[in-house]
Amino acid sequence: MIQTVDLYKSFGDLQVLKGINEHVAPQEVISIIGPSGGGKSTFLRCLNMLETPDSGKIFFEGVDITSEKVDIDLHRQKMGMVFQHFNVFPHLSVLENVTLAPTVVKKIAKNEATEQAMELLNRVGLAEKANESATSLSGGQKQRLAIVRALAMEPDVMLFDEPTSALDPEMVGEVLDVIKGLVKNGMTSVIVTHEMGFAKEVSDRVVFMDGGIVAEEGTPDEVFNHPQNPRTKDFLGKVLY
Amino acid sequence: MFSFENIIMLWQDYWQIFIFEGLKYTLILSAIAVFFGVIFGSFIAFGRMSDIRPFKIINKYNENNNAILKAVANFNPVSFICEVYTEVIRGTPLLLQLYFFVFLIPKVLPFINQFNAVALALSFNSAAYVSELFRSGIQAVDKGQTEAARSLGMNKTQTMLRVILPQAIKNILPAVGNEFIAIIKETSMASTFFVGDLMTSYLVVRGATYLALESLIIIGVIYLVVTFTLSKLIGKYERKLNSK
Ligand SMILES: Nc1ncnc2c1ncn2[C@@H]1O[C@H](COP(=O)(O)OP(=O)(O)OP(=O)(O)O)[C@@H](O)[C@H]1O
Ligand SMILES: [Mg+2]
């Protein structure tokens, strides 16, 4: 579904991605783990071209989206993204956060979009909050809203960038449960996370990124229980205990 | 000699001049300046934030990253012109700009009278300041908002209109109100050309009565009442915006 070929990216003199070749198959769930600054977010943000890679190609559903000829907005509709800091729209109500993109981008009729949004909000337990301001929500609620907002565009793949890192510990569970539900229903997902237990549980494949390269990857069992690369061992030793 | 009674007497005799030949035109000039300042200013702001790079294509052929070629490729002429305009206006005194317009306009556009020339100068002046208010108001909106909107497939225009501007307006409106207050005070420079504003009415009354200090105190109080009231109103409005 997504394939990256030799992805390179620098910020000034700092080389952040040094040749990433990855493939995300339909319905696959991939967790990206690794030390801070290793390029995880940058890689994820390249996947929907929020960052433009310096070189390399990204194929999404067969189209090279790094090409200047493609209408990136069209392809982004098919890739939902969830951010560490939620980025809900504070000037809109909970419901409007969800209906904005479908009505503006897809030109779906308001009542139809509302109906679909209410159904989604209901699924994550936010239906009663529909008419409240998005700013009145707790962190966990904001992140659930952000997920639903992305889902309203009916994406083929979801990209999560540390969706629980900015949450109070007691709210982490409610957000992870929503993601687990999605994944169980076959949503293709790429998840950057520091929640090792969660990564172990939901992933088909775990990718360990360090220093701008994929240092190791494999099934959760391979990476977590039998890491080969000393850097993976070192990292896991630090985060697991 | 200066006396309190003189102030009262002056006010009784000349209040109509202060209000209808002075304050009225000060407010009209300020309103014109802010009105056109907002219109021109928003164009300048968007010009500066635009991404128009006509020589972008050079980047593709600039394989060994030549710094000069890179600068040319990233050159945005619209943004450059807007920036130069803003810097020139903000870097030179308003009085100089007023002189410039009042001398220049009759030469190129003889049908424009001096009052309008002054109004034009004030408008061009406030455009530069307002454009900066727009720009900083827009840039103060968290970058994550743009990213969230773009990641949903919204294009640049949709993102600007539906996500960024509605949030930026809360920063911009009070700032434009404060700009209006600043302009009210700056219009006093228009009196240099005797076009009729609060400061001009001071010159008129002083000329007729030789009571300089008393006249000054009167127009000072008028300026103060107007600016103080406006700033209180803006503060109230700002609190209302923020509580929402
Ligand atoms: N827009 C940017 N401008 C300059 N440097 C950046 C930018 N974005 C990221 N970087 C730098 O690139 C490096 C990799 O960043 P990235 O966010 O991809 O790491 P990460 O693996 O996601 O780390 P973390 O776990 O802390 O989120 C970091 O050193 C970061 O400071
Ligand atoms: Mg990150």
CA A83 to ligand 1 centroid distance, Å: 14
Contact A104 B151 (CB under 8 A): no
Query: Of B151, B158, B167, which is closest to A81 when you measure between CB atoms?
Result: B151
B240 to chain A, closest Cα gap in Å: 14
CA B216 to ligand 1 centroid distance, Å: 60
- Give the pLDDT confidence score for residue B57 in this predicted structure: 85
- Give the pLDDT confidence score for residue A186 in this predicted structure: 94
- Give the pLDDT confidence score for residue B60 in this predicted structure: 78
Residues of chain B contacting residue A108, judged by C-beta atoms under 8 Å apart: none
Query: CB within 6 Å of ligand 1 — which residues?
Result: A 11, 14, 16, 34, 36-42
- Give the pLDDT confidence score for residue B69 in this predicted structure: 87
Q: Please tell me the distance from the alpha carbon of residue A21 to that of residue A19, in angstroms, as a whole number.
A: 7
> Does ipTM top 0.85?
yes
- Among candidate residues B239, B123, B238, B236, the one with its CA nearest the CA of residue B173: B238
Contact B153 A91 (CB under 8 A): no
Q: Please tell me the distance from the alpha carbon of residue A223 to that of residue B1, in angstroms, as a whole number.
A: 94
Q: Please tell me the distance from the alpha carbon of residue A160 to that of residue B235, in angstroms, as a whole number.
A: 41
Alpha helices in B92-197 (DSSP H): 94-108, 114-139, 143-151, 156-159, 165-186
> Which tokens belong to A88?
């809900």
Q: Please tell me the distance from the alpha carbon of residue B215 to that of residue B206, in angstroms, as a whole number.
A: 6
* Low pLDDT (below 50) residues in chain B: none
Helices B24-49 + B165-186 axis angle, to 10:
140
* Low pLDDT (below 70) residues in chain A: 241
Q: Please tell me the distance from the alpha carbon of residue A189 to that of residue A160, in angstroms, as a whole number.
A: 8
B53 to chain A, closest Cα gap in Å: 15
Whether A37 and chain B come into contact, CB under 8 Å, resolves to no
- Give the pLDDT confidence score for residue A114 in this predicted structure: 96
The residue whose CA has the least distance to atom 22 of ligand 1 is: A41
- Give the pLDDT confidence score for residue B1 in this predicted structure: 67
Amino acid letter, B121: A
Provide DSSP, B90-101.
HHS-HHHHHHHH
Across the strands, what pairs with A192? A32, A161
Whether A98 and chain B come into contact, CB under 8 Å, resolves to no
Residues of chain B contacting residue A52, judged by C-beta atoms under 8 Å apart: none
Query: Of A77, A83, A88, which is closest to B147 when you measure between CB atoms?
Result: A83
Residues of chain A contacting residue B155, judged by C-beta atoms under 8 Å apart: 73
Whether A108 and chain B come into contact, CB under 8 Å, resolves to no
Contact B162 A104 (CB under 8 A): yes
